[in-house]
Structure 1
Amino acid sequence: MSHPEATVGRIVHYVSHGTPGGEYTSQCRAAIVTEAAQGDSDLIGLAVLNPEGMFFNRYVLESQDERRGGTWHWPERV
């Protein structure tokens, strides 16, 4: 299945890193696309919404399958 193009204003999921000691686990967080590269690049800028506040992250890599910390993916369809 083909995924849509990430464009400014779209909602995606950002995967948090978690903490080394395990106090916080890696989790999906809601994020809004703030900038999107033209062409084949899967790097985008995000405004990530966390329970503790919001942060901005530029040049976030897409990871639809592995979903490792520090990457984004499209929300699952339910």
Structure 2
Amino acid sequence: MTPSVGRIVHYQSYGTPGGEYLPEARAAVITTVGDGGVVGLAVLNPTGMFFNEAVPFAETATPGHWNWPPRV
């Protein structure tokens, strides 16, 4: 699939260094599309939105990367 502006994807959060919060998938909206699968995202968190301008793609859930949501 090809990323495009407005598509819903998953962003894998980093979690905290001490392990209080584990990495987990967050819903995100693609805001810009760059080269090589790098996109800008508006990440939807329970406490607000987070904007990231250069997020690389990963086939599997990898902290700091985006991936397509699984079909369920």
Larger radius of gyration: 1
Superposed structure 1 runs of 4+ greater than 4 Å apart: none
> Partner residue of 1:33?
30
Aligned partner letter, 1:36: V
Two-structure CA RMSD over aligned residues (Å): 0.9
Q: Deviations over 1:33-75 (max 9, x none)?
A: 000025xx1100000000011010011010012x211000000
The structure with the largest helix share of the pair is: 2
Report percent identity of matched pairs.
Answer: 53
Listed as ranges, the matches of 1:10-21 within 5 Å are 10-21=7-18
Unaligned runs of 5+ in 2: none
Listed as ranges, the matches of 1:1-78 within 5 Å are 4-37=1-34, 41-65=36-60, 67-78=61-72
SS at match of 2:62: coil
TM-score, with structure 2 as normaliser: 0.95
Q: How many residues align?
A: 72
CA distance in 2, matches of 1:61, 1:77: 21
Unaligned runs of 5+ in 1: none
